[in-house]
Amino acid sequence: MKKLESLLQWGGTKRDIVFLIISGISLLISIFHPFPLPFDAAWIAIILCGIPIILEAIIGLVTEFDIKADVLVSIALIASVIIREDFAAGEVAFIMQLGALLEDLTVAKARAGIEKLVHLTPRTARRIVGKSEEIVPAEQVQVGDLLRVLPGETVPVDGVICSGQTSINQAVMTGESLPVDKGVGDEVSSGTVNQFGSFDMTASKVGEDSSIQRMIRLVQSADAGKAKIVGIADRWATWIVIIALTAAILTWLVSGEIIRAVTILVVFCPCALVLATPTAIMAAIGNATRHGFLVREGDALERLASVSYITFDKTGTLTYGIPKVVAVHSCRPDYTEERVYSCTASAEMRSEHPLGKAVVRCYRETYQAPLQEAEQFQLLLGRGVSAVLAGRNVLAGNLELMEEQKISVPKSVRDAANSYLNDGCTIIFLAVGQDLCGFLALSDTLRKDAAAVINGVKKTGVTPVLLTGDHENAAAHIASQLHIQEFHANCRPEDKLAFIDRHQASSKQVCMIGDGINDAPALKKSFVGIAMGGIGSDIAVDAADIALVNDEIRELPHLLSLSKRMMVTIKCNLTFSMTLNFIAIVLAITGILNPVVGALVHNAGSVLVILNSAVLLTWKKR
């Protein structure tokens, strides 16, 4: 059904373009008369462009008593036709439909990624009854049911692990790329993915109470309160109509010349006023596209110009979202840092864990040397790996693994590891036999241009804020590196929404930039949402107003400056068009302008508005 609606909408746009081309040609024929016709060719423009305007005005007045700019246009059209100024009528109709088309092309229909979120909802669950398993629809799971989740499966409902150990990919809820180790007593959320071990869990929240269903409701509700900016011509339409009609009637009564009254109606037509906003928006969108931004909502740049805060997700936005070895520490003289690195990478070579893969990848990038072949490899869920290298037992894993295997970790080594943990790093200890040899520190790495971007954002007068699902230490470390004064850690989707709600309730508009599924509600709720289009999830992109196609955030300050410059251009366009209309009205009242010349004068103003807007296409802040 939606595909059919999209095709009909596109079909309507193509029809409008064809009608405008035909109308433009007919007006040229009406001016230059290249060949004789039994009627004025301007009537083609009147019929193709004017009749839809008149019908829309009548429908709006009758059904909702809604006075918009098209009411005044309709009055001017009808009056021009009555006094046989056909060219003026056709010209006004053509310009107004051109403005409407430009507006339709810039204002996209609202889109939501709710359907894709629904697809993430698990369809079935593996319920344990007695000593047997049965596959049941997820919606039939009751609180207290015992469920089993195998490697690679999605957790069907919220619950608590009662047996087994595993690592869970929680990106759908927190946005963090690294899996989280889980064991008995730990909570798991629906929609998250079990990566390695199987486990049994007791269902605690099911159906509409589950995490994934709450996420869907957040996205659905977040869009409801986002106001759409109304065109300036329509906002002022009631007063424009009243003033124009009053001026026309008084002029007719005083002068006794109806042509002066019609001229007033023609020059009062808000053509330049209608074109002032969409032409500037289209030019700014073209500029943004050249800098890697896909503007998905026509008024997004207009809203962006008024934001007070821009909130960043951390992983994949300010960082690359890929763990990297940032330090190697040796605690034995016979094990150099390179040897600690090599042994750890060799032990992890057959691991499927993202941290293990990161160690191997980073070692090869650094040394480009072959690794030892590991024997008797074993993945120790939630703790690390074990392997045999050159006949010696090797362990690579967390502190819990070392303590479990009775491997002593001196206080000096713990203190060194804690210094990295405080910076948000993950630590992998290496033990050969029963001796600790050292450790590796892994961390998500900042984008090389992140600091410049934050500095550029501050220069535009917008305050940057860090909202991340990562823990406090990692958030504080990133914020200090980038000189971000305000940050919030351990943020779930509800927390990000609460921050946005709190500030927007006090008229401090918020722009959100993120990449994950967990960012979708915040992207939808924020005054402007910007999604990382390359690495970001489809759901995040669908929820956003603007997508960053190449994931290069360095152009973000340009986008903020461009939006503010666009608003300056729009205000200049509006001021110019209103001034020109006022002068033309005075000339029409005095009888200096007739309808045709009046139409030419105020349409010349429309051309100047378009030219002024076109400057935005190549604008760049110096």
Q: Which of 491, 462, 490, 467 is nearest to 479 (CA)?
A: 467
| pLDDT score recorded for residue 395 | 94
- pLDDT, residue 442, reads 92
Q: Note the helical H segments in 157-296.
A: 171-174, 211-222, 232-235, 237-255, 258-267, 271-290
Contact status, residue 512 vs residue 495, Cβ threshold 8 Å: no
List pLDDT tens digits, range 594-613.
877 776 776 677 778 888 98
Q: Pick from 84, 83, 25, 78: which is nearest to 53 by CA?
A: 78
Instruction: State the pLDDT at residue 139.
Output: 84
Q: Which of 40, 70, 313, 470 is catalytic?
A: 313
C-alpha–C-alpha distance, residues 186 and 162, integer Å: 8
**pLDDT for the residue 74:** 84
Intervals of the chain under pLDDT 70:
1-12, 66-69, 99, 102-121, 171-178, 209, 211-238, 269-272, 298, 516-518, 533-543, 549-551, 599, 602-603
CB 113 within 8 A of CB 70: no
CB within 8 A of 473, min separation 6: which ones? 421, 422, 423, 424
3-class SS shares of the chain: helix, strand, coil, % to 5: 55, 20, 25
pLDDT of residue 235: 64
369 burial (CB, 10 Å; 0-12 / 13-18 / 19+) is exposed
pLDDT at 383: 84
Per the annotation, the verdict on 435 as an active-site residue is: no
CB 293 within 8 A of CB 551: no
Q: Exposed, middle or buried by CB within 10 Å (0-12, 13-18, 19+), for 553? A: buried
pLDDT of residue 297: 72
pLDDT at 460: 93
For every residue of 96-154, DSSP letters joined together read HHHHHHHHHHHSPPP---HHHHHHHS--EEEEEETTEEEEEEGGG--TT-EEEE-TTPB
Residue 369 has what pLDDT?
Answer: 82
The per-residue pLDDT for 330 is 94
One-letter amino acid of 202:
T
Kindly report the pTM of this predicted structure: 0.65
Pairing mode, if any, of strands 124-129 and 180-182? unpaired
